[in-house]
Amino acid sequence: MSSTDSNPPKLDIKYTQIFINNDWHKAVKGKTFPVINPSTGEEICQVEEATRADVDKAVEAARKAFDVESPWRKLEPAARGNLMRKFAQLLRRDIDYLSKLETLNNGKPVGNSEGDIYSAANCIDYYAGWTDKIVGETIPGAHDQVIFTRHEPIGVCGQIIPWNFPIAMMAWKLGPALACGNVIILKPAEQTPLTALYCASLIKEAGFPPGVVNIIPGDGPECGHAIAAHEHIDKVAFTGSVEVGKKVQEAAAKSNLKRVSLELGGKSPLIICEDADIDYAAEVAHMALFFNAAQTCTAASRTYVHAKIYDKFIAKSIELAQQRIVGDPFDSNTVQGPQINESQFDKILGYIESGKKDGAKLECGGERAGSKGYFIKPTIFSDVKDDMQIAREEIFGPIMSVLKFDSYDDVIKRANDSTFGLAAGVITNDLTRSMMFAQRLQAGTVWVNTYHSVSNQAPFGGFKQSGHGRELGKYGLESYYEVKTVVVKLV
């Protein structure tokens, strides 16, 4: 385990204001909020704090940009795609600065930040290719009728993104919305607004018309609620917790019944069968849980292992956890940075105490790493039971809960016994068994012999309280267009 003493590079924080109509603004109420470096617990800078008044300004700009006679609405689809490609090019051009800024603000290892930015650029490029392929269809009708459909942009889209993948989640939201011709008011998480604000400058540099993309930093209860409840926002997309997702959907329903898409939490099961190679299975399970300091909605936080290989799996997993390098995210050897903030840090330590109290066996970790910042040692519990708090609730922290099973029918029932349904995984060499699991597990994504494999062209989203709607792929476009039927009588 490496030192948690972080020595972040000196970065010029270029943008800390609200971005509306391609200009920078101070908050109407004159408020700012601190942005914290989770590796040190120290303040990076102050950022302007948007409230309802700033959301109103952004809505006014966005509605003007969406006017049928506006420059944005008059762009040919291919020209819209070219603007998106230019933005993607600028993300790649500035990857060195952006990755350091992401790591400073979020705490993930700088190599992971670089990967996120490349992924974001690729996502924007992917959707740029869709701009001239969003087509309707002709439909058989009466002999003297022509019936066809048009796919039209919804209008002003509010987008609220999380802190665990700030720049990647921004791309997941912007890509399909822009490809369909919408205009956007995007709120980054208040913990991690810095890269989104820098990207606002790139959007302007790429040549997007004023008002097409507006980025407004602020908190959830004030700024996020104002977006969800605004009478003149036509759609809201939210990624985050189930608790807040319910509030977003309620506010949307009580205002103008705006369309809603939600990507929420998970308590994803990973099932390791008796025929699995133990070394490989342990490596997949390790990555499936601990990746991104386990601050991942798809984290495999319930690891079900067949009784015949349970003890060997536990031994190998402990070995991997103890080898995991936790520390300074700017150190190239580091694979795990800090948790995002003090409240998450305290919450995770509370779950560790809960696991011990409920009778799970603490195999390793279970405490903070270092004395500065929000670092937690990789933690493994064995002898976990399904009714324990650590097996029921989304932790969003580096706690692996390992459960034992004997029967495949039984483990499927146990895996599905959750209010969540975002992802699931299975490790097996039996093709028939893997297809049975893929068919019976209640999850939006099922990974077989891999985990966290996400592609821009493949849809992503959840069952049950893990949300509704899909992001990525052609399915991701469906949340951002209306279908209009046109019937023409031939005379």
Residues marked as catalytic: 263
Please tell me what DSSP assigns to residue 324.
-
Exposed, middle or buried by CB within 10 Å (0-12, 13-18, 19+), for 143? exposed
- Cβ distance 456 to 472 under 8 Å? yes
What's the rounded Cα separation, in Å, for the pair 299 and 283? 14
Radius of gyration of the chain (CA): 23
Alpha-helical regions (H) of 51-132: 52-65, 71-74, 77-93, 95-106, 110-128
Tell me the residue type at 269: P
Residues in the chain: 491
Q: Check: CB of residue 216 under 8 Å from CB of residue 189.
A: no
Residues 210/19, Cβ–Cβ less than 8 Å? no
Identify which of 435, 422, 405 has the alpha carbon closest to the alpha carbon of residue 465.
422
Q: How distant is the alpha carbon of residue 467 from its chain centre?
A: 12
Phi, psi (5° rounding) for residue 314? -60, -45
**What DSSP designation does 73 have?**
H
Closest by CA to 236, choosing from 221, 255, 219, is 255
Q: Strand 32-37 and strand 42-48: pairing?
A: antiparallel
Dihedral pair phi/psi, residue 399, rounded to 5°: -120, 110
The pair of structure tokens assigned to 39 is 């590796």
Q: What is the phi/psi pair of residue 303, to 5°?
A: -100, 105
CB proximity list for 377: less than 8 A, separation 6 or greater: 1, 326, 364, 365, 366, 367, 368, 369, 398
> CA 460, CA 473: separation in Å to the nearest integer?
8
Residue with tokens 């929420």: 264
Name, in order, each residue with C-beta under 8 angstroms of 90's C-beta and a sequence gap of 6 or more.
202, 205, 206
Plot region of 446 (φ>0 → left; ψ -120 to 50 → alpha; else → beta): beta
